[in-house]
Amino acid sequence: MNKLRAFLGYRMRALIRKEFRQILRDRRLAISLILPPTLQLLLFGFALNATVSNLRLGVVDDSRTPESRELVATMTGSKSFQGAGTYLSVNEMSKKIADGNLEAGLVIPYDYARDLQRGRPATVQVMLNAMNSNTATIGEGYAQGVIATYNQTLAGEGIHAHFQEIAAPNVSRLGRVLIHPAYLYNPGLEPTWFIVTGILGVLLILNGSLISAAAIVKEREAGTLEQLLMSPASTTQIIVAKLFPLFVLLCMMGTLAVAIMRVVFGIPFRGNVLLVIAAAALCLLCGIAIGTFIATFTRSARQAQLTLFFVNPPLTSLSGAFTPVEAMPKWLQPVAQFNPIQHFGMISRGAMLKGSGIETLWPNFLALLAFTVVLVSLSIWRFRKQLS
């Protein structure tokens, strides 16, 4: 107890006050604690949206009948497609799609209305620009949904009516399976809920590593580390005093990010908020440890940033923040388990969206704690070795 009091005594408090003043006196470093994380969270949340709407639709109507015009009105009347012109030939419309002026095209054959009136299946062609496969897949689903709604309208008007025997039903007739989907944990199918809850871990690691590396390298370039070594403080006190102010200020940054998630994106908090805060603190410590560890191998801020460029992008790509880990190749999925951001994403999504507790998320929390202990131990070992 006496050793702990001596460790946390006047010298430690003086060092911590000195670090706070030094960080707040550096305007660039203070601004980087607030402005970049806020902008990154807003940009990622709004820009990385898988929802596609108002696809520009071109039309080649060879039928030129009220039925074909009704189909075109149904397609362009939805929020999925917007009319972008009528063309005389498929080649002309294909050229517009190739030039990027259209995302989709609708080709209605000349016998479209006649087939409908005679009870035959009427075939229309939907052309999609598959340069972006995600947009093409979503556009195909939109088109199928609009056509399905249009078919129900036709059935209500008596076209393609199916007559069934009421008095003596045929027991051999095959039944139908009706699907009634229930969207759990995200009834509104908001794509930002998945992205933003994963982006939070990326921001904690990314900004924690960048800011800690910049702060340590800059102080070493100024020559103040050598002055600290000449003070009566021990090496451990110097290390803790260097890391503690960064951790506190980055925790404030994380709190601001969580507030933006709740207010701007409307993400619910169905579970234990303390569990998310504890996981965020561990994720921050991982980021600070990565930045400190890299700062001990570099001699300038530019070298530290260049080295982090080879560390942070792989961590981000294998984090499951933007796309699910299940979408990765089978051989790459085990590698993602060695990423602290991936475990934080599981904790944040489970606690916020599902309302899961520590009894369910303890494997991810334990893995995140193990990563924190290992990375912090390595960074302290390297920093102490450099000071000595």
pLDDT attached to residue 165:
38
Task: Give dist(CA 103, CA 195) in Å, integer.
Answer: 25
**In which band, very low, low, confident or very high, does the pLDDT at 344 lie, cut at 50, 70 and 90?**
very high
Q: Give CA–CA dist 162/151, Å, rounded.
A: 13
Note whether 267 and 261 are within 8 A (CB). yes
- The predicted structure's pLDDT at residue 132: 67
Tell me if 35 sits within 8 A of 211, measured CB to CB. Answer: no
- Comparing 66-70, 145-149, 168-172, 202-206, which segment has the lowest mean pLDDT? 168-172
| 164 has pLDDT over 60 | no
> What are 183-211's pLDDT values in tens digits?
677 777 777 888 888 888 888 898 888 88
- Residue of higher predicted confidence among 233 and 277: 277
Q: Are 201 and 348 in contact (CB under 8 A)?
A: yes
* Higher pLDDT, residue 162 or 32: 32
Q: How confident is the model at residue 31 (pLDDT cuts 50, 70, 90)?
A: confident
Backbone angles phi, psi at 60, to 5 degrees: -120, 105
Is the pLDDT score of 172 beyond 70? no
Per the listing, tokens 């089978």 go with 330
Does 7 score more than 70 pLDDT?
no
- For residue 382, is pLDDT > 50? yes
Q: Can you give the pTM of this predicted structure? A: 0.74
Name the band, by pLDDT with cuts 50, 70 and 90, for residue 2: low
Q: How confident is the model at residue 53 (pLDDT cuts 50, 70, 90)?
A: confident
Q: Which of 91-95, 225-229, 365-369 tops mean pLDDT?
A: 365-369
- Residue span(s) of the chain under CATH 3.40.1710.10 come to 55-149
Which residues have C-beta within 8 Å of that of residue 52, sequence separation ≥ 6?
A: 80, 134, 135, 138, 139, 142
Q: Is pLDDT larger for residue 90 or for residue 22?
A: 90
Distance between CA atoms of residues 206 and 213, nearest Å: 11
Mean predicted confidence (pLDDT) in 5-28: 71
Q: Which amino acid is at 112?
A: Y
Is the pLDDT assigned to residue 158 strictly greater than 60? no
- Of 5-9, 100-104, 318-322, the least confident: 5-9
CA–CA distance, 346 with 185 (Å, rounded to integer):
14
The values of phi and psi at residue 310, to 5°, are -90, -5
Is pLDDT of 171 > 50?
Answer: no
Annotate 249-269 with b (16+ C-beta within 10 A) or e (fewer).
bbeebbeebbebbeeebebee
**Above 60 in pLDDT, residue 261?**
yes
Identify the pLDDT of residue 373.
Answer: 93
Tell me which DSSP letter residue 350 carries: I
Kindly tell me if the per-residue pLDDT of 222 is higher than 80. no
What is the CATH number that goes with domain 55-149?
3.40.1710.10
Average pLDDT on 140-162 reads 68
What is the per-residue pLDDT across 91-123, written as a single tens digit (0 to 9) for each?
A: 888 888 887 788 888 888 888 888 777 777 778
Residue 168 has pLDDT above 70, yes or no: no
Q: Which of 163-167, 219-223, 227-231, 340-344 has the lowest mean pLDDT?
A: 163-167
Residue 19, pLDDT above cutoff 50: yes
pLDDT tier at 156, thresholds 50, 70, 90: low
Residue 363's Cβ-side half-sphere holds a number of Cα atoms within 13 Å equal to: 6
pLDDT of residue 160: 46
Triad 291, 296, 302: Cα angle to 5°: 70
- Looking at the chain, the whole-number percentage of residues with pLDDT higher than 70 is 82
Average pLDDT over residues 296-324: 84
Stretch 225-247: mean pLDDT, rounded? 72
> Average pLDDT over the chain, rounded to whole?
79
